[in-house]
Structure 1
Amino acid sequence: MNAPHTASPDRLAAATAATAYQKQWFARMRAEVAAGAPLALVNADAPQEILRAMGIPYVVNQWWASVVSAKRMGPTALHNIAVRGYPDDSLQYDAIGLGSMDLLGADAPWGGLPRPRFVIAECSGDATRKVFDLWAEHPDTEFFPFERSSATTTPDNWWELVGHDWERVYASDRLDLMTSENWQLVEFLTARTGRTFDIDRLAEVMTLVNEQAEWNKRTRDLIAATRPTPVSINDSIPAVMIPQWHRGSVWARDAARELFHEVEAAVRDGRAVCPGERVRLMWIGRGLWFDLGLYQRFQEKYGAVFVWSMYLAIAADGYARYGGDPMRALAARFTGFTDQLYTPPWSSQWYVKEAQSHGVDAVVHLVADDVPGSSFTTEALERAGIPVLEIRTNNADSRGAAAAALETAIGDFLKHRVLD
């Protein structure tokens, strides 16, 4: 699909609406917790849908870390970790939330995160477990850990299978384990909050999540097919991810639908982020929260536009699960979540597919210290004829010279490997 070149559009209404909603929601949540409601802090790879079905407010750890980092308080939060005698140069994305609890007064974004009653995370590594154990050292906080199981199957084109054939895609013992742990989480929360769990309510939540994923897939596919790109990833990230943290709600489903209609209108009207688009770029890895402006600073000088991030793509391919027992389907959503993003050949096949469907000319690959299999992703893309720049830094830690060197490194990469 080819869109004529016109002037660059204003910011997406879906992005500003999502940000406004999140601020209002956060204020309401703070008021609920102040009135006695239990708060859960949940890692992105843990089943938030159970909390939604039980009416327990929750904050996603990675989202809160992104807010702290974007408000330039990441270094202070990490300093607070170091003052307590713990490393501040490992798993910063997981640890910033913990360090943010010691931010004072106006330094705390949006009034600050209330003390969570529960923290919930998958133990994907020794360091992750240790970070969440520290949360539970506070007398008012308990930790519920999920085991991290390893992939024993390697299906080709997983994104075509996981929606309906998830029982075959994931090994039964992995699904058995997480289904059992999901029920254990229900018992844990019921005993401590007195709130009840209704499997029919979970089924309603799962249906809304599937509908949200369907709208995200339409949006992703439309952006992939449009030249030049109609949407900046600076807008698509909040417009997609804020509703993702509210998965299973009517608001989140409707927000995904409105995003699609807005992008559809932009394509129909011929709007373009960079009318003189010359180079289409893919950003693999977590968002660079302390410098989101980086993504746009190459447009004027090089006509280079970041047209892809994992946030919309995984929201399109990674979440929908249909049929079966809702609790087991929920287990299927999260059992292989890390595999899809980071374990080859699951991950490497998917990134190549996404690069080719979006017509990218090159890839910038942010490699974090806790991401396995990154070299296989780079190798698969290079083998497909797509040049890759690997950058090794932490997406939420703005300290040191590495962050300042990113722009120079990407500029040199464009000049010497892409534009030539």
Structure 2
Amino acid sequence: MTRLAAAGAATAYQKEWFARLRAQAAAGEPIALVNADAPQELLRAMDIPYVVNQWWASVVAAKQRADDALQVLRDRGYPDYSRQYDAISLGSHFLADAPWGGLPQPAVVIAENSGDAARKVFDLWAELPGTDFYPLERSSAVEVPSRWWELVPHRWEEAFGSERIDLLAGEIADLAAWLTERTGRVLDVDRLGSVMDLVNEQAEWNRRTRDLVAAARPTPVRVGDTIPAVMVPQWHRGTEWGRDAARRLYEEVAGLVEAGTAVVPDERLRLMWLGRGLWYDLGLYRRFEERYGAVFVWSMYLAIAADGYLRYGPDPVRALAGRFAGITDQLYTPPWSTEWYVKEARAHGVDGVVHLVADDVPGSWFTTRALEDAGIPVLEIHASNADPRTGGPDRIDAAVSEFIERRLTERPDPEGRPPLQADVRSS
């Protein structure tokens, strides 16, 4: 099966966009580096070009330069074994031959305070002359609603609580003023409203695509294609291009479904990849198709783009706060995350889950237990998604093969054996 046209188009667009961004930076325009959990739509509305930290780390890892970037940190006396996904971009900034010409030095960096190590990474960015850091607070839920994905499009205040929305809405207003001081750009609230409208349209298309993929038997697309096809447009949320790219992905997938296209015509096993993308070994997602008739049909990227970003409301600042106040909860905090993962696994009819557990991901035990309690076998792989030293392709391949042979082809398990765990880190 050929690659999705939407994936190829998104990748080509991203390269062109990044070249333009580098030219803007060279001409003196201020560039921002933001974490994935930062309210990026604010920068979009203020016409401040930005790069998402995790996207750039994925490029460096996919180009097999992650260890080089981490070596830079080692050489400077910094740890290279914690929060690699956050730190790789910082290390890559000092590489003379970084991918795609390298990341321009940002004028501002923005990230949520998600732990001491992550905070220190961004503090180091701020030690560069000409770079300033704005830290956002992370709040916690007191009460957790059931089936949050049904609440958040319109009833997000109920889902996350007014206190959390108040905190982040105030920080967004303060951040806008802070950005104006450093860039001269001024927030137009009406423009932010238009950006939010485009994001909602994009999310609606992603929801339609996710539902198509969930219902299709056998699957017409593999996650190795849907990840770039959905995530590149996600980094351009609030633009007409991002919305239209999401629509084109839906139309392409709908055409494949109508034509009866199958990634594996003799599909025997449907797998869920739970966790971040394995950027240094993207070929993993195809490796088990011929061997076992097993295809990865789910990743969090399309799923969270479908369920996690819709926010309707008359106040765009408050709606934006409602979008990001609980984004981490949705993915990583039980029971928010566990209930959602079980829902997604059942909707996609998966036979088993490969759960990539990084050292900075909370709640992984609860996620695995919830899926196993729902009758869905889980393989836990303890490794970083961006640092190849923590999980070589051969070791991960062997772990997944053992899981398929031992847990998925022997179901039901009369011995009641516990979930498989694979610590594939180098000794």
TM over 0.5: yes
Counterpart CA distance in 2 for 1:371 and 1:400 is 15
2:272 matched residue in structure 1: 282
1:215 matched residue in structure 2: 205
Counterpart CA distance in 1 for 2:283 and 2:255 is 25
Displacement after TM superposition at 1:220 (Å): 0.2
Displacement after TM superposition at 1:171 (Å): 1.6
The one-letter code sitting in structure 1 at the alignment partner of 2:62 is A
- Specify the SS of the correspondent of 1:190: helix
- Specify the SS of the correspondent of 2:214: helix
Residue 125 of structure 2, aligned match among 123, 126, 135? 135
Displacement after TM superposition at 1:404 (Å): 3.3
The one-letter code sitting in structure 2 at the alignment partner of 1:23 is K
Q: Deviation string for 1:3-38 (max 9, x for gaps)?
A: xxxxxx311100000000000000001101111110
- Specify the SS of the correspondent of 1:21: helix
2:216 matched residue in structure 1: 226
Counterpart CA distance in 2 for 1:351 and 1:246 is 26
- Specify the SS of the correspondent of 1:213: helix
Q: Deviation string for 1:100-150 (max 9, x for gaps)?
A: 01111xx31111000000000001111110110000011111000000111
Residues 14-33 of structure 1 aligned to structure 2 (within 5 Å)? 14-33=6-25
- Specify the SS of the correspondent of 1:151: coil
1:72 aligns with 2:69: no
1:417 aligns with 2:407: yes
The one-letter code sitting in structure 2 at the alignment partner of 1:212 is Q
1:40 aligns with 2:32: yes
Counterpart CA distance in 1 for 2:188 and 2:367 is 41
Residue 265 of structure 1, aligned match among 255, 274, 298? 255
Residues 4-153 of structure 1 aligned to structure 2 (within 5 Å)? 9-104=1-96, 107-153=97-143
TM-score by length of 2: 0.95
Percent identity reads: 68
2:422 matched residue in structure 1: none
Aligned partners of 1:393 and 1:402 also within 8 Å: no
- Specify the SS of the correspondent of 2:82: coil
Counterpart CA distance in 1 for 2:265 and 2:85 is 35
Change (3 A) 1:27 1:418: same
1:5 matched residue in structure 2: none
Change (3 A) 1:280 1:76: same
The one-letter code sitting in structure 1 at the alignment partner of 2:17 is W
- Specify the SS of the correspondent of 2:166: helix
- Specify the SS of the correspondent of 2:328: helix
1:6 matched residue in structure 2: none
Displacement after TM superposition at 1:153 (Å): 1.7
Counterpart CA distance in 2 for 1:267 and 1:169 is 34
Displacement after TM superposition at 1:332 (Å): 0.5
1:294 matched residue in structure 2: 284
Aligned partners of 1:393 and 1:403 also within 8 Å: no
Change (3 A) 1:354 1:172: same
Aligned partners of 2:153 and 2:311 also within 8 Å: yes
Counterpart CA distance in 2 for 1:374 and 1:322 is 31
Counterpart CA distance in 2 for 1:315 and 1:401 is 27
2:195 matched residue in structure 1: 205
Counterpart CA distance in 2 for 1:367 and 1:201 is 39
Aligned partners of 1:340 and 1:347 also within 8 Å: yes
Q: Deviation string for 1:362-411 (max 9, x for gaps)?
A: 00000011111010010000000000000000000012565531000000
Q: Deviation string for 1:180-201 (max 9, x for gaps)?
A: 0000110001111111110000
Moved runs in structure 1, 4+ residues, more than 6 A? none
Counterpart CA distance in 2 for 1:213 and 1:149 is 24
Aligned partners of 2:383 and 2:390 also within 8 Å: no
Residue 239 of structure 2, aligned match among 227, 231, 249? 249
Counterpart CA distance in 1 for 2:130 and 2:250 is 42
- Specify the SS of the correspondent of 1:89: coil
Counterpart CA distance in 1 for 2:225 and 2:390 is 27
The one-letter code sitting in structure 1 at the alignment partner of 2:61 is S
Residue 154 of structure 1, aligned match among 141, 144, 149? 144
The one-letter code sitting in structure 2 at the alignment partner of 1:45 is D
The one-letter code sitting in structure 2 at the alignment partner of 1:381 is L
The one-letter code sitting in structure 2 at the alignment partner of 1:18 is A
Counterpart CA distance in 1 for 2:80 and 2:189 is 41
Structure 2: runs of 5 or more not aligned: 411-427
Counterpart CA distance in 2 for 1:152 and 1:76 is 42
1:408 matched residue in structure 2: 398
Counterpart CA distance in 2 for 1:159 and 1:324 is 20
Displacement after TM superposition at 1:324 (Å): 3.1
1:190 aligns with 2:206: no
Residue 378 of structure 1, aligned match among 351, 368, 376? 368
The one-letter code sitting in structure 2 at the alignment partner of 1:160 is E
Residue 169 of structure 2, aligned match among 179, 183, 191? 179
The one-letter code sitting in structure 1 at the alignment partner of 2:280 is F
The one-letter code sitting in structure 1 at the alignment partner of 2:345 is A
The one-letter code sitting in structure 1 at the alignment partner of 2:15 is K
Counterpart CA distance in 2 for 1:141 and 1:283 is 36
Counterpart CA distance in 1 for 2:393 and 2:255 is 36
Residue 308 of structure 1, aligned match among 291, 298, 301? 298
Number of aligned positions between the proteins: 410
Change (3 A) 1:401 1:23: closer
- Specify the SS of the correspondent of 1:399: helix
- Specify the SS of the correspondent of 1:377: helix
- Specify the SS of the correspondent of 1:120: strand
Aligned partners of 2:330 and 2:336 also within 8 Å: yes
TM-score by length of 1: 0.97
